[in-house]
Amino acid sequence: MQKNYVLTDGNSIPYLGYGTFRISDGSDVLNSVLHAFQTGYRCIDTATLYGNETGIGQAVKASRLERSEVFITTKVWNSDQGYEQTLLACRASLKRLSLRYVDLYLVHWPIAASFFDTWQAMELLHAHGRAKSIGVSNFGIEQLESLKTKAKHLPVVNQIEFHPQLQSPELVQYCQKNNILVQAWAPLARGEVQHIPEIQSMSEQLKCSPAQLTLAWMRARGIMPIPKSKTPARIDENYAIHSLSLSQDIVEKMNALDCGRRLGPEPSHFWA
């Protein structure tokens, strides 16, 4: 069994999740998520944008796991933001997922014109039990501070691009100080961590893979990674980090790899 983080709303979330971006709906996502469940993952990350919520719902059903044993995250896409639109978007996601509630509902990107209204809808969805926890993604300090001025409940999660070469130390420190769990998207730098020489040499020393070292380092930092793989052997490899404990020296060497190298859009990309 995986260990959990406890969110500020009291809900638990596994230390490690399974990402599903660019896994097509239908048999692709069904088989991948079923394999992830068999391996031991219990937390699945999707989004309306990924177009695979239907297959994920089918995998939850086919797994025969109790609903309370799985943790499903989805996100409201940018063009669905606003008060009414967010309520409708959540209802549509739940329908595709064949679920009565999601465990975590995230605002995918901050949109300046609508993010207060969107957040009010998120709070209503939380109050009505449609989203057990609510959070954001790709929010910077500025947006989180703005949210603070009007929100009844602060986000319990901020899902951001985070990997050894992009560590956003100020934002991570801000989130951790405000008890917002940082989830790392692209935790393996989309597969590139295996080519970083320092990570190669440290992982050889530790007799693990570069991906495993990277994921274990995040756990040591109190950050929750959601690696994606469609390859069964890599799904297993990424999960098998539970016995890997890192020395402070290794943690610091990994910390030193930050060079601000972003792979995805700037967080302010949609903030117009």
Does 214 contact ligand NDP by CB under 6 A? no
Helix runs in the chain, H state only:
27-39, 53-63, 83-97, 115-127, 141-150, 169-177, 197-206, 210-220, 232-239, 248-255
Amino acid identity, position 51: G
**Interface with ligand NDP (CB under 6 A), residue from 14, 33, 35, 45:** 45
DSSP run (H or E) holding 184: strand 181-185
β 157-161/181-185 pair status: parallel
Amino acid identity, position 217: W
**In this complex, which beta carbon is closest to ligand NDP, that of residue 127 or of residue 205?**
205
Q: Write down the catalytic residue from 15, 18, 41, 50.
A: 50
Q: At 139, is the secondary structure helix, strand, or coil?
A: coil
> Which of the 8 DSSP states describes residue 47?
-
> Is there a catalytic annotation at residue 83?
no
**In this complex, which beta carbon is closest to ligand NDP, that of residue 129 or of residue 260?**
260
Measured from the CB of residue 200, what is the shortest distance to ligand NDP in angstroms?
Answer: 12
**Interface with ligand NDP (CB under 6 A), residue from 61, 153, 230, 242:** 230
Does 232 contact ligand NDP by CB under 6 A? no
Which residues lie below 8 Å from residue 207, measured CB to CB, with a gap of 6+?
Answer: none
Does 58 contact ligand NDP by CB under 6 A? no
**Interface with ligand NDP (CB under 6 A), residue from 187, 213, 216, 218:** 187
Residue numbers of the site for ligand NDP (CB under 6 A)? Answer: 19-21, 45, 108, 137-138, 159, 185-191, 194, 209, 211, 226-231, 234, 237-238, 264
Provide the annotated active-site residues: 50
